[in-house]
Every structure is written in structure tokens, then in C-alpha cells.
């Protein structure tokens, strides 16, 4: 029996710790590969795309044909791009690479160029309600060996600012039938944030890598002001300063400041980023394997960015499953222009649902020699937790105007 011929492809939607959509592809010889199709707050749209349109077309195909299968789904749909489509294609692509590795008995990175490094620099989040809280959290993360920390802080005068969770893992999607409403004031934010970084540097010195996420909220002019104001604190990067629909905006910001810029977590294809990359208007491309259409295109994007001095910084929030995180780590391991990997961590329930080989130690994520992606799916356990609708928040200015979240 040919080891690589697909027998079936199935979609599993459940909520072990939070909502996840998982693709399971089984070959006729009994090999199983997994892919992550989670798109936070829009999970069922991706599940339906997979169930109705992609999964039924896989039977009889060879798992080795990742390039042809990817193009069959991308070009073959006629309707290209978009987060739903690309997350669905990405999950299948991931599962196919997982299968290739398992059949060939080798980690996926060996099929992508081999080991370029033995460990990946990793950043996580310090989200304090106020300055004191933020400093405490940075201290804790430093003790937990993190060398790179994304610093967010509640803003005086803004009741519900972005990125500030209660204790433990920050989870932006909230269960219920209506999105939660946050509020925003750009002047209050711009006046306050530089003082946070001043204090963090005062307390912890120059050694820590510091990152910050503006979550798509500034105009290019406001972004340039923030980037300049933060220059004395030598950020590793300033992320998503302005909504990325206008790739030209980043060139304006870049001309005015030497604070490194990162963008791309909401991008789905190279077409969202090709001007940013070829004009060298960013420093880090943040696309992630699941929402960027899989390992196949991510590798091409990383290779395209390399000669332009642009490094990767894959999105790694808790709303992509450990399968997608592992897929990022395999790409991170193989490419030359790896920059950093985001890692928010997972709840105990999520960890139990997705037993994995990758591990965090001394500020870095590590992979092992395990074949495939090195993540299992404890399906019986995971299915005990039923999907519950959850929305990402929406955001309004203080006068009620709808704004970017």
C-alpha cells in the first residue's frame, strides 16, 4: 500500500481551553497529520470552507505534492486570498508537511532546508493594568528567563485599553453573542507610552529586548511621532503602528525614525507585503503559518524577504494552536533570516489537548528530532470541550466613533 495516499480529511471544532479548529488528514497506510485552522472569532467560517470545499478533494492525492495541492486550492478557487480561505488552505498544507515528515521519519525542518539554528529567541507579553503592574510583570518574566518582552500597559484615562488581561494568559476573544467594547484615545496613549519604556529601561537596563504593539491604531504621522519618542529606549520592534492596508504608509514612518518596525499578523498572502518588503519599509515580517496559507507560502515569503535585510517574527498568540506554533518553529529553524518568535503560552487544558515536542528553556523555544511537526492531538479529551461562540472586541473612540481594534 502506498504510504502517502490520502484516505480522508476531517475537521474538528472544539474548545479545549479556548476555541480551536483542527484538520486531521489520514493516509491509506494509517499515517495521521494535523493542521491548525483557527481564526479567532471566525472559526466556523473556516471550518465550513474546509468541510464543504477542500477536504472532499483530498482523497487519493499524495501528501508529497504540497506545491500542487496548495495551488490547486489557491488558484483553483478563482476567489483568491482573504483570512478564511488562506487559513483553510494553510491548515491542509501544515497537515501535509506533518505527514511528509512522519512518513520520511524526519522533523519537518529537515525538509525545508535543515537546521539553521538550534534554538529560537522568543518573546512573550507583559500586560500591566498600570505602570507598577507592568514593571512587576516584566520582572517575573525576566526571572522566568525571557530575554525579550512585549511591554503593554493600561493608559491613564482609558478605561479598557488594548492588550491588558487579568492574571495569567491574555485572551482577547470573549465568549458570548456580542463583541465586548473597548475604548481609545490616541492623544492619551501617545502622551503616556514613552514614560513606560523610560521606567522599564531605568529599572532593567539595556540588556532586555523590548517590544511594543500599537495594534493598528495610529496614522502614519502619529506613528512616526511614537517611533521617534521611543528611539532612546532602543526597541527590538514597534508593531502594527498603522493599519497595513496602505503599504506606502510604512515608508513614511521609516524615513522619520530608526525604531525598527514590524507588521503582518493579519496578512494572508505575499501580495499584502511585497511592497513593504521590496521597498525595505519594515524590519520584521510578522505573518504566521496558519493565517498566511501554510508552510509552503511562508517559506517563499521568508526567502523573498531575506535579501532585503528583513527578518521574520511570526505571530504566535494563544489563539493559534500548538500545531501552528510548531509549524512556525520548523520554518524558524530552517530559514536564514529568522528574527524572533512570539509565544504567549497556553492554558493547561490546551496543553493536554495538544501534547508537543517543542519546549521553552532559557528564553528560547527548542525543537527536537521528532518526525513531522512534533505535535499530537488528544482528540477524545479535546472533544469533551464544546465550541462556544466568542468574539474579538470592537473599539470605539471616547465620543463613540467606531475605531480599529
In the complex with ligand GCO, the residue whose CB is nearer, 93 or 319, is 319
Would you say 357 and 370 are in contact if contact means Cβ atoms under 8 Å apart? yes
Q: How far is the CB of 404 from Mg ion (least distance, A)?
A: 12
Smaller CB separation from Mg ion, 154 or 172: 172
Give whichever of 131 and 392 is closer to ligand GCO, judged by the CB atom: 392
d(CA 207, CA 210): 9
Q: Residue 249: helix, strand or coil by DSSP?
A: helix
Q: Name residues whose C-beta falls within 8 Å of residue 245's C-beta, 6 or more positions apart in sequence.
A: none
> With binding defined as CB under 5 A, does residue 332 bind Mg ion?
no
What is the footprint of Mg ion within residues 232-251 (CB under 5 A)?
Answer: none
- Nearest alpha carbon to residue 147 among 123, 171, 112, 183: 123
**DSSP state for residue 217 in the 8-state scheme:** -
Residues, the chain = 405
Residue 213: CB minimum distance to Mg ion, A: 4
Q: Which residue is nearest to Mg ion (CB)?
A: 213
Question: Residue-wise over 291-305: b if at least 16 C-beta within 10 A, else e?
Answer: bbbbbbbbbebbebb
Q: Which triple of cell numbers denotes residue 49?
A: 470552507
Other beta carbons within 10 Å of 238: 25
Whether residue 259 contacts residue 233, with contact meaning beta carbons closer than 8 Å, is answered with: no
Extended beta strands in 273-370, E state: 284-285, 311-312, 341-342, 359-361, 364-366
Q: Identify the residue among 36, 222, 229, 319 touching ligand GCO (CB under 6 A).
A: 319
Alpha-carbon distance 270 to 301, whole Å? Answer: 6
What are phi and psi for residue 284, nearest 5 degrees? Answer: -135, 135
| Stretch near ligand GCO under the rule CB under 6 A, chosen from 253-261, 315-323, 365-373, 381-389 | 315-323
Site for ligand GCO in 101-160 (CB under 6 A): none
Query: Cβ of residue 183: shortest distance to Mg ion, in angstroms?
Result: 19
Contact status: 317 vs ligand GCO (CB under 6 A): yes
Q: Which of residues 182-241 bind ligand GCO (CB under 6 A)?
A: 213, 215
- Residues touching ligand GCO: how many (CB under 6 A)? 10
Kindly state whether residue 38 participates in binding ligand GCO, applying the rule CB under 6 A.
Answer: no
CB closer to ligand GCO, 4 vs 239: 239
Residue 294 interaction partner, one of Mg ion, ligand GCO, none, beta carbon < 5-8 Å per kind: none
Q: Determine phi and psi for 78, rounding to 5 degrees.
A: 70, -50
Choose the one of Mg ion, ligand GCO, none that binds residue 317, judging by a C-beta under 5 to 8 angstroms depending on kind. Answer: ligand GCO
Q: Three cell numbers at 298?
A: 511562508
Of 290, 291, 278, 282, nearest to 312 (Cα)?
A: 282
When the beta carbons of 15 and 40 are compared against ligand GCO, the nearer one is 40
Query: Would you state the cell numbers that stand for residue 133, as one nine-digit string?
Result: 503592574
- Considering only residues 330 through 359, tell me which ones interact with ligand GCO, judged by CB under 6 A: 342
Binds 216, which of ligand GCO, Mg ion, none (CB < 5 to 8 A, cut-off by type)?
none
Distance, CA of 205 to CA of 207 (rounded, Å): 6
Tell me if 378 sits within 8 A of 355, measured CB to CB: yes
Write down the least CB distance from residue 46 to ligand GCO, Å. 13
Going by C-beta distance under 8 Å and a sequence separation of 6 or more, which residues neighbour residue 29? 1, 2, 3, 4, 5
In angstroms, give the least distance from the CB of 217 to ligand GCO. 11
| Least Å from the CB of residue 214 to ligand GCO | 10
- Residue 77 to residues 69, 95, 137: CA-CA distances in angstroms? 12, 20, 46
Could you tell me the three cell numbers for 257?
A: 525614525
4 binds, among Mg ion, ligand GCO, none (CB under 5 to 8 A by kind): none
Judged by CB under 6 A, the chain residues 251 through 270 that form the site for ligand GCO are: 265
Q: Which of 36, 43, 98, 213 binds Mg ion (CB under 5 A)?
A: 213
The span of 30-38, 209-217, 353-361, 374-382 binding Mg ion (CB under 5 A) equals: 209-217
- Compute the distance between CA of residue 402 and CA of residue 53 in angstroms, rounded to an integer: 34
Site string for Mg ion, 159-198 (x = CB under 5 A): ----------------------------------------
Point out the residues that are catalytic: 162, 215
- Residues forming the site for ligand GCO (CB under 6 A): 40, 172, 213, 215, 265, 315, 317, 319, 342, 392
- Residues forming the site for Mg ion (CB under 5 A): 213
Amino acid at each position: 500500500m502506498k504510504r502517502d495516499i490520502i484516505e480522508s480529511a476531517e475537521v474538528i471544532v472544539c474548545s479545549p481551553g479556548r476555541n480551536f479548529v483542527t484538520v486531521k488528514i489520514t493516509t491509506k497506510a494509517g499515517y495521521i497529520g494535523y493542521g491548525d485552522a483557527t481564526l479567532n472569532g471566525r472559526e466556523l467560517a473556516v471550518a465550513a470552507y474546509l468541510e464543504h470545499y477542500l477536504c472532499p478533494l483530498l482523497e487519493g492525492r499524495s501528501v508529497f505534492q504540497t506545491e500542487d495541492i496548495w495551488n490547486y486550492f489557491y488558484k483553483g478557487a478563482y476567489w483568491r486570498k482573504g483570512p478564511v480561505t488562506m487559513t483553510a488552505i494553510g491548515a491542509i498544507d501544515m497537515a501535509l508537511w506533518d505527514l511528509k515528515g512522519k512518513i520520511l521519519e524526519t522533523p519537518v525542518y529537515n525538509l525545508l532546508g535543515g537546521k539553521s539554528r538550534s534554538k529560537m529567541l522568543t518573546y512573550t507579553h507583559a500586560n500591566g493594568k498600570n505602570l507598577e503592574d507592568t514593571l512587576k510583570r516584566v520582572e517575573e518574566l525576566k526571572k522566568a528567563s525571557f530575554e525579550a518582552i512585549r511591554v503593554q500597559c493600561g493608559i491613564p484615562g482609558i478605561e479598557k485599553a488594548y492588550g491588558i488581561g487579568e492574571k495569567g494568559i491574555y485572551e482577547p476573544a470573549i465568549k458570548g453573542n456580542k463583541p465586548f467594547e473597548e475604548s481609545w484615545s490616541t492623544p492619551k496613549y501617545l502622551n503616556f507610552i514613552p514614560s513606560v519604556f523610560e521606567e522599564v529601561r531605568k529599572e532593567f537596563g539595556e540588556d532586555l529586548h523590548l517590544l511594543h504593539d500599537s495594534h493598528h491604531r495610529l496614522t502614519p504621522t502619529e506613528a512616526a511621532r511614537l517611533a521617534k519618542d521611543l528611539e532612546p529606549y532602543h526597541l527590538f520592534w514597534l508593531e502594527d503602528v498603522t493599519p497595513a492596508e496602505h503599504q506606502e504608509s510604512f515608508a513614511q514612518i521609516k524615513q522619520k525614525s530608526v525604531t525598527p518596525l514590524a507588521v503582518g499578523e493579519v496578512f494572508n498572502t505575499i501580495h499584502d507585503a511585497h511592497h513593504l518588503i521590496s521597498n525595505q519599509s519594515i524590519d520584521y515580517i510578522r505573518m504566521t503559518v496558519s493565517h498566511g496559507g501554510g508552510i509552503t507560502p511562508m517559506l517563499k515569503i521568508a526567502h523573498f524577504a531575506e535579501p532585503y535585510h528583513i527578518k521574520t517574527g511570526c505571530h504566535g498568540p494563544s489563539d493559534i494552536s500548538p500545531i501552528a506554533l510548531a509549524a512556525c518553529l520548523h520554518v524558524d529553524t530552517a530559514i536564514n533570516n529568522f528574527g524572533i518568535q512570539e509565544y504567549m503560552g497556553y492554558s493547561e487544558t490546551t496543553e493536554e489537548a495538544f501534547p508537543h515536542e517543542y519546549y521553552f528553556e532559557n528564553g528560547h523555544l527548542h525543537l527536537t528530532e521528532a518526525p513531522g511537526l512534533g505535535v499530537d492531538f488528544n482528540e477524545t479529551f479535546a472533544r469533551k470541550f464544546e465550541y462556544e461562540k466568542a468574539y474579538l472586541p470592537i473599539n470605539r473612540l471616547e465620543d463613540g466613533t467606531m475605531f480599529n481594534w
